[in-house]
Structure 1
């Protein structure tokens, strides 16, 4: 009697069917699958099974890159039967990321992860094609570089110096760390305590991902943010420095909840966390930091990357530079 179920060797498809014919069709599909026991796997189950093997021989930075991409996948999609996940499901994820201003690179990393999962499922006959191949990542136009002003940085600094038990204060601390290290959000949120050397004659951290020039780069810790590093390292509950933070410990949650709310409370217009990296590059360039040193600090392959995508000199700085003509006898 209705509803009908499809069960093979004690393994169910995990759903009910309105007609006997639908249930029999599901059984036929199970019989054609090399691993019927995987038929009721959710996407989350597939990720766990894939990562359990893939992560064994993977470097820490690569692994954390995949983990960051997985963090963008909503729970509702994770709990969907893997055999039912299609291109449209992940296209919605990618479109959502790009609508929020995240980079093409972030969207492509999510696409690449889904491709890996599709390959794993194809090998086990759960699906017949790599649906990730049909995903479209829109190439966004180069946006005008937007940085935080000195007045805005001062507001964030003032908040960061407040009650350290306050969630907004700790959020400001992390934002100051971004502003004075130039780290990407994926880098800071995967930074281990063991990579931070506060007792060295010159305190520094070693970390970074994405490019060869950026991996495991050395970044001296500026005195203005040294107390914040000490605070989070002392409170860390695990290997990651961010485990000492009292709010959202995943990049996406921190960005949309803690960080956005902090900026709003200070009356600062929203900018994605990556703009802190651009602010660091711009401030360093305007302060006269050696170009080779700046490229190494930021993890660029060359300084041209900075001048094209990161450095946005303020009009006052450019005017002051132009005034040098007066001092050179060209007035």
Structure 2
């Protein structure tokens, strides 16, 4: 945060000091042009030093310092209008790892403060993905602070997460396990089959509203996704899952997947998914394995790569494909129907 002219300055001194922040006022210039200052005092935190300058000046011309917690809550109240419930739940989970900086002034948080959080997460055996979500949250909150003039720079983009070692490597469902799902003939099993015949992320499926399901032309519109490439994409409804998609559409109130007329959160659906996996003897599978299964089966069946990327919501790496290739619903349906 830039301080008003003539207000004074705060500098953090090097070394291991109990009171590393010095507040001082510029008094003038020596004959050789060198500046000379008056030290107001030494303080444990940046916020304490600013307060000392404020008291020294008898001034109220500087905005009150905001803590990281207050900036986070301000950002979340705005950002939550643009994302689904599962995304908000993910942000809140990541925020729990930031308790040690929650009460600090946003402009007093150092790179070391942030890197210590990541290092502690890794030492506690938390996954690379969890650390990446925390870094992403920090990026968004600090960017919000920069836009609103609370700070001038952010250190979060420089955080080191370490090596990405998969905790649970994704494994496709076998044909036998998929057949067991069909034999269950339950609501829970049918939701898993939707994942296995669309390639949607779990959060994408849970965010589907009635308006996102076109039964006449038989396709879904995925409007909410974790990536830009995944938003507003069309996925044809496979013939095998069409009957229970039609049934869900009739018995639910606002969303395609509901329980007691209420949309499901990711945590709630994870319990449902876990019970289904137990019933088909597939306890080690995750919801993301469904997406991995679709990608693997379509690749094995020789599906058009551009169609597969469009269905899964993957960004095209080739500029020609990205700009000039627009897959029609017919081509997408041809690809999705390769799933048996």
Shorter-chain TM-score bucket reads 0.5 to 0.7
Structure with higher helix content: 1
Cα 1:126–1:236, aligned 2, differ >3 Å: closer, same or farther? farther
Write the deviation string for residues 185-218 of structure 1: whole angstroms up to 9, x where unpaired.
34223333311112x1x31011164556543221
Distance 1:174 1:194, change over 3 A: same
SS of alignment partner, residue 72 of structure 1 = helix
Alignment of 1:116-155 (within 5 A): 116-121=140-145, 130=154, 132-133=156-157, 135-140=159-164, 146-155=171-180
Whole-angstrom distance in 2 between the partners of 1:248 and 1:100: 28
Secondary structure in 2 matching 1:194: helix
- Runs of 4+ aligned structure 1 residues displaced above 6 Å come to 22-27, 122-129, 245-248
The alignment status of 1:278 with 2:303, answered yes or no, reads no
Q: 1:120 to 1:217 in 2, by over 3 A?
A: closer
| 1:229 is the counterpart of 2:245 | yes
With structure 1 as the length reference, what TM-score do the two structures score?
A: 0.59
Change (3 A) 1:139 1:206: farther
Is 1:259 the counterpart of 2:273? The answer is: yes
User: What SS does structure 2 have at the residue aligned with 1:229?
Assistant: helix
How many positions carry a matched residue from both structures? 262
Larger radius of gyration: 2
Give the Å deviation of 1:280: 1.2
Deviations 1:7-33 (A, max 9, x none): xxxxxxxxxxxxxxx999976666779
Alignment of 1:237-248 (within 5 A): 238=254, 240-244=255-259
Q: 1:158 aligns with which of 159, 183, 199?
A: 183
Is the Cα–Cα contact under 8 Å of residues 50 and 120 in structure 1 kept in the other structure? yes
User: How far apart, in 2, do the equivalents of 1:229 and 1:78 lie?
Assistant: 42
Which residue of structure 1 aligns with residue 265 of structure 2? 250
1:299-310 alignment runs, 5 A limit = 299-301=313-315
